Amino acid sequence: MTELFDVVDVIRTKRDGHVLSLDEINWVIDAYTRGVVGEEQMAALAMAIFLRGMNPDEISQWTQAMIDSGETMDFSALPRPTADKHSTGGVGDKITLPLAPLVAAFDVAVPQLSGRGLGHTGGTLDKLESIPGWQASISNEHIMHMLGEGAGAVICAAGAGLAPADKKLYALRDITSTVDCVPLIASSIMSKKIAEGTGSLVLDVKVGSGAFMKDLGKARELAQTMVNIGASHKLHTVALLTDMSTPLGNMVGNALEVRESVEVLAGGGPADVVELTLALAQEMLAAAGKPDEDIEAALQDGRAMDRWNQMIREQGGDPTAPLPVAAHTHQVVAEADGYLTELDALSVGVASWRLGAGRAAAGEAVQAEAGIELHAKIGDPVRKGQPLMTLHTQTPERFERALESLVGGYTIGESAPTPRESVVFERLATDF
């Protein structure tokens, strides 16, 4: 077939700072998906976008072209509204696990298509796979059953047919230093979420050392861009900017984070995890037309836990089975009396990764048992010799490198730091 455009001309247009037309964007994404545009050519275009940026119309059309590269899901036949949440990733970020069944307890369907971890950020599917028997990959028919007649929530892997252009482009960006580009990040996330077919979307955009976006300004730009994409595609979208300068909760790792999530569903758990879970649940329920529910009560009276147990069973898991426990542990203790004034999320995340909780390359196996248990949070008083954290792994030779990443990652001071007011910094939303 005769191609509509020459990819060299498209690259040159963006390289020279001009706007790509709707037709050029549609063609280049389709041609790249078909293999007509080569990897080296798309790499050049991605770098041109990285350097020159995109205007809102370009970003919206780029997103639509990636949606159009594959199949879409349709939840309009469900007897209840749908709401989804996406996190940009962090350390100890287990929020999806208690959040999905909590929102489902109020008769809102939660189609949570999730991913795996890479590097220091954990993956939701990796965490859940520490539950004996649980399956990440299920059919679209099974998803519809769980949302309609089953638990009302599903956390599973996205099918290969959703936005295949994004999957291909993401892998290319990862090896061409074009990941850190707001138009490409925003369109990547939103193309999958819009193709998924949810009725509303709440974004948890992390800010801080353990997040992809290290500063508030850049995170705000990303959040606003995604909210704008949602508005242009008639998807009700809200974004919360949340703190990822220090780990969420007391557990970092796979089985460890599942254990802590169950504590939250049982009415307990760390204050910061509970706070963020409730904040995101409130946004999801409001977007689904249920703004006045007593959300916290569902954690206390067992309704959310019932949904969790049902959700896990419907994906082959046994919620009553013991979670795997590491064969080897190592304690890090306080060197002096004082207060824990700093606990860096990136340092803890890298240490957990090096213990085996994460992967360095896509496809690598992870240890369900590996991770870090925190015994003190910022502001807590500590005594010399008191355990600050326990490292968990199946392979004790990993301790040395994990400990190296913790050097300078925490500070003990003489006076307590000013407590943070909230884990949530800002809220962004656009009505349409």
Is 349 among the domain residues? yes
Q: Catalytic residue among 14, 86, 120, 236, which?
A: 86
Is 256 among the domain residues? yes
Same domain for 299 and 339:
no
Paired tokens of 385: 């010799």
Residue 194 sits in a domain of what CATH number? Answer: 3.40.1030.10
Residue 432 binned pLDDT confidence (cut-offs 50, 70, 90): low
Is 66 among the domain residues? no
Is 397 among the domain residues? yes
Is 30 among the domain residues? yes
Q: Catalytic residue among 30, 84, 126, 166, which?
A: 166
The range of the structural domain enclosing residue 139 comes to: 84-321+425-429
CB hemisphere CA count around 265 (13 angstroms): 26
Residue 44 sits in a domain of what CATH number? Answer: 1.20.970.10
**Distance from C-alpha of 349 to C-alpha of 371, rounded to nearest angstrom:** 9
Same domain for 404 and 276:
no
Share of the chain above pLDDT 70, in %: 98
pLDDT tens for each residue of 120-147: 777 899 999 999 999 999 999 999 999 9
pTM: 0.94
Look at residue 393 in the predicted model and tell me its pLDDT.
Answer: 98
The per-type count for the chain, helices as H runs and strands as E runs, is: 16, 13
Q: Catalytic residue among 173, 193, 354, 392, which?
A: 173
Q: Are 60 and 25 in contact (CB under 8 A)?
A: no
Same domain for 196 and 154:
yes
**Distance from C-alpha of 153 to C-alpha of 133, rounded to nearest angstrom:** 18
User: Does residue 369 carry a pLDDT above 80?
Assistant: yes
pLDDT tens for each residue of 383-412: 999 999 999 999 999 999 999 999 999 999
Residue 365 sits in a domain of what CATH number? Answer: 3.90.1170.30
**Distance from C-alpha of 101 to C-alpha of 315, rounded to nearest angstrom:** 14
Is 195 among the domain residues? yes
Look at residue 431 in the predicted model and tell me its pLDDT.
Answer: 64
Same domain for 291 and 339:
no
Look at residue 118 in the predicted model and tell me its pLDDT.
Answer: 66
Q: What's the distance, CA 98 to chain centroid?
A: 14
Looking at the structure of the chain, the number of domains it has is: 3
Same domain for 263 and 139:
yes
Q: Are 391 and 351 in contact (CB under 8 A)?
A: yes
Same domain for 130 and 108:
yes
Q: Where is 347: in which H helix or E strand?
A: helix 345-352
Contacts 24+ apart (CB under 8 A), 296-305: 298/102, 298/105, 298/106, 299/98, 299/102, 299/264, 299/265, 299/266, 299/267, 299/274, 300/267, 303/105, 304/98, 304/101, 304/102, 304/105, 304/265, 305/101, 305/262, 305/265, 305/266
Is 38 among the domain residues? yes
Same domain for 202 and 126:
yes
Confirm whether 206 is a catalytic residue.
Answer: no
Same domain for 157 and 90:
yes
Same domain for 257 and 289:
yes
Q: Are 213 and 205 in contact (CB under 8 A)?
A: yes
Q: Catalytic residue among 14, 127, 192, 193, which?
A: 192
**Distance from C-alpha of 167 to C-alpha of 177, rounded to nearest angstrom:** 16
Same domain for 357 and 293:
no
Is 77 among the domain residues? no
Confirm whether 188 is a catalytic residue.
Answer: yes
Range from 30-39, 177-186, 365-374, 407-416 carrying the lowest mean pLDDT = 177-186
Same domain for 364 and 269:
no
Same domain for 88 and 46:
no
